A and B are shown apart, each in its own frame.
Chain A
Amino acid sequence: MGNHSFRDRWMNIPKLSFFSRSKLSGDFIFEAVVGFFALGIIVLAFLLFRELFIESGISKNTFGVSFLTTSTWDPVNEIFGALPFIFGTMVSSFLALLIAVPFSLGIAIYLSELAPEKLKIPLSFIIELLAAIPSVIIGLWGIFILAPFIRDYLAPPLSTYLGFLPLFQGPMYGLSMLTGGVILAIMIIPITSSISREAILTVPIHQREGALALGATGWETIRIAVLPYARSGIFGAVILGFGRAIGETMAVTMVIGNSPRISESLFSPSYTMASVIANEFVEATSKLYISSLIEIGFLLLVISVIVNIAARILVWKLLKVEGGGRA
């Protein structure tokens, strides 16, 4: 505070003495109150991290690193390995990004550059509304509509034409890694597309005018002048989508098949870290069992933190290289 107080920063007022009026003024109290709120969140996050770390102690002592590298999840004999869940979370989330990113970019470009004025607001409103649908509703829709649709109409051509890839082999029952990825993609499209749209909207108009003046077509303008300028913002949107995908629980639990086995095929059922916690925590009674589930929660938190830090670093690097971009 002191020489960085609100008034100094914004009004360029010379610093007053320690006992001056400004020190005890409403500004000071206000700054203290909002500072308390901001710190409160940091303290809360720290406590959460600490609690998960401590509570997962028994599991860490019992299994050590093998918790991360083994695939047996046997609550009866209390042998726990989290690898299938980590695998399921990462693969389903990447699959979701693979599907969602092209869609989101298309939506963002259309809404910011191409859509007629009359359509822009209602369309973006509807897409943002998609994010407000409770995930259990999306999950139910997944079970009754999407899973049978994928089983009957999407899986057969995939296995006919791309069946030589291990990705599309084996029987398909509807509930699978593929269905989980599609559900996640649908759930992250609103956030990635609306943030990408914001990023594209911040591109100054003279960028476009410059490109058009040089004779670029509409597509070239978007490709050369708009997208590179907005790329760090778009990248941020993609990472936020990824963050949502790895933490999503209810909808993906309902359609992924909940089977803790690692399979090359996207048609096989799988399991995610968030799902196993949601499924088994309530009925877990032994200390080691609870501790193992908490360790999965801890790992999930660590993975999200790593993903977010990696994203920041990438965005900074991009900013340096591109020069023109903005966060």
Chain B
Amino acid sequence: MNRLKTILILILAGVLLAGCVSTPPAQVQPTVQPTATVQPAKAPSTLTLNGAGATFPYPLISKWSSEYNKIKPNIQINYQSVGSGAGIKQITARTVDFGASDAPLTEQEYANVSGILQIPESLGAVVVAYNLPGIEKGVKLTGDVIADIFLGKIKKWNDHRIISLNSGIQFPDEDIIVAHRSDGSGTTFVFTDYLSAVSPDWKSKVGKGKSVNWQVGLGGKGNEGVAGLLSQIPYSIGYIELAYAKLQNISYSYIKNKAGNFIEPTLETTANAAADVVLTLPAGDTSWSSVSIVDAEGNNSYPVSSFTYLLVYKDQVDQTKGKTLAEFLWWAVHDGQKYSSGLLYVPLPNEIINLNEKTIKLMNYNGQSLIQG
């Protein structure tokens, strides 16, 4: 009797274990196998490209994924938005086919991944947003004033340095409350890159990075966290992505650029900044660590913006997959750009597309170029 019981228990345990270890084969769908092998001259098999990286371009890349799947139904593109850092780690370890990062690889990161290509696939702008009851968007600010606010040197809204930039606006005698990102992010990188470019004081005290040592303020997690702080706290100031500010109707400032004009952040003024620097950009297979489009020269260029990059290997190890990847990238930087503005991303200027064409043509399998173009 007892024996029967224990046998029963064991059988049950065995079934449970089996349930944990493997799923019944009937549920495995052949279409989602990540490493589809080459099947020449047969019905097209499904091929999956896996990517991982920055959260900023995620909506754009998923749009591309679904649109590209309509054109080529046998190609599937999966993108995990795990953060630029994790994206760089994964492409370095070759666990994904492409990575994505909001900042170019640093010298150290670049040295760790031999033969990587950096392809700017879109542009993002960061706006300085605020909550000033009764005051709409368009408060004019300069780089050094923004730096001093975020350093805690300018403490009040009616500081003479703010008033002197904005004749006609009545500023309240209230403390400025600074809101910044608490999580590591490309948005912080772009913002601190800009402040480092325009304020020597900022550069020496804080510097640029995805996370920095903030001197003052409250930290919110994600764009939504900072936007939440801004909407909750009157007289606060913070920085968020342009797209997020537009969608949430948050007031943002116009910032003085290098040419001396106060520029409203829009898709066009951001694209102008990219077009300004195109002549100075390096080739796609060299280090981009010093590339920055903040504080651009042009008359009508918004000064706080940056590229966001796709990362792929120059030497592909799988011919079919490499060719598919190259073709997808080619499509993304050409036809794919028409989906940008709808999602409030900045379409690449033609000069950058030309540069990307050269870079994508460098992709090869055993020395054989993977795309003709």
A-to-B contact residues, CB < 8 Å: 25-27, 29-30, 33, 72-77, 143-144, 147-148, 171, 173-175, 253-254, 257-259, 269, 271, 275, 278-286
Contacts and interface: CB of A to CB of B under 8 A. Distances in A.
Contact of B221 (A29, A279, A286): A279
Contacts of A143: 228, 232
Nearest to A290: B85
B195 to A, nearest CB: 12
B219 A258 contact: yes
Interface string B101-113: 0000010110000
B10 interface: yes
Nearest to B212: A76
Interface range on chain B (Cβ under 8 Å from partner): 35 or more
Interface in B196-210: 206-210
B35 interface: no
B177 interface: yes
Given A258-B218, A285-B89, 6 more contacts: A26-B6, A76-B208, A76-B209, A76-B212, A282-B82, A285-B85
A76 B10 contact: no
Interface stretch (B139-147, B180-188, B262-270, B321-329): B180-188
Nearest to B17: A33
14 contacts: A25-B6, A26-B6, A73-B213, A75-B210, A75-B211, A76-B207, A76-B209, A77-B213, A173-B177, A258-B182, A279-B182, A279-B183, A282-B86, A283-B185
Contacts of A258: 182, 218-221
B21 to A, nearest CB: 14
A237 to B, nearest CB: 31
Given A25-B3, A174-B232, A285 B109 contact: yes
B259 to A, nearest CB: 29
Contacts of A279: 182-184, 211, 219, 221
A257 B219 contact: yes
B84 interface: yes
B175 interface: yes
B214 interface: yes
A76 B184 contact: no
B233 A254 contact: no
Contacts of B106: 285
B104 to A, nearest CB: 13
Contacts of B221: 253-254, 258, 279
B191 to A, nearest CB: 13
**What are the 7 tightest A-B residue pairs by CB atom distance, in nearest-first order?**
A283-B184, A258-B219, A26-B6, A258-B182, A282-B83, A74-B213, A76-B207
A75 B82 CA distance: 20
B88 interface: yes
B357 to A, nearest CB: 29
B349 interface: no
B41 interface: no
A26 B6 CA distance: 5
B218 A254 contact: no
B274 interface: no
B229 interface: yes
B218 A175 contact: yes
A254 B222 CA distance: 10
Interface in B43-98: 82-86, 88-89
Main secondary structure of the interface of A (DSSP, over half): loop
B232 A283 contact: no
Given A259-B217, A259-B218, A283 B182 contact: no
Nearest to B102: A283
Contact of A284 (B85, B182, B207, B228): B85
Nearest to A27: B6
Nearest to A286: B108
A297 to B, nearest CB: 16
A281 B208 CA distance: 17
Contacts of A281: 184
B232 A269 contact: no
Contacts of B15: none
B207 A280 contact: no
B317 interface: no
A269 B212 CA distance: 17
A27 B10 CA distance: 10
Contacts of A259: 214, 217-219
**Most chain B CB within a 10 A radius of its CB, from A26, A173, A174, A283:** A283
A78 to B, nearest CB: 10
B115 interface: no
Interface in B324-347: none
A74 B83 CA distance: 20
Contacts of A26: 2-3, 5-7, 9-10
B13 A33 contact: yes
Interface in B154-188: 175, 177, 182-185
B138 interface: no
Nearest to A21: B3
Contacts of B219: 257-259, 269, 271, 279
Contacts of A284: 85, 184, 211
Contacts of A171: 175
Contacts of B212: 74-76
A186 B88 CA distance: 39
Nearest to B206: A76
Interface in B1-30: 2-3, 5-7, 9-10, 13
Given A75-B211, A258-B220, A269-B218, A148 B232 contact: yes
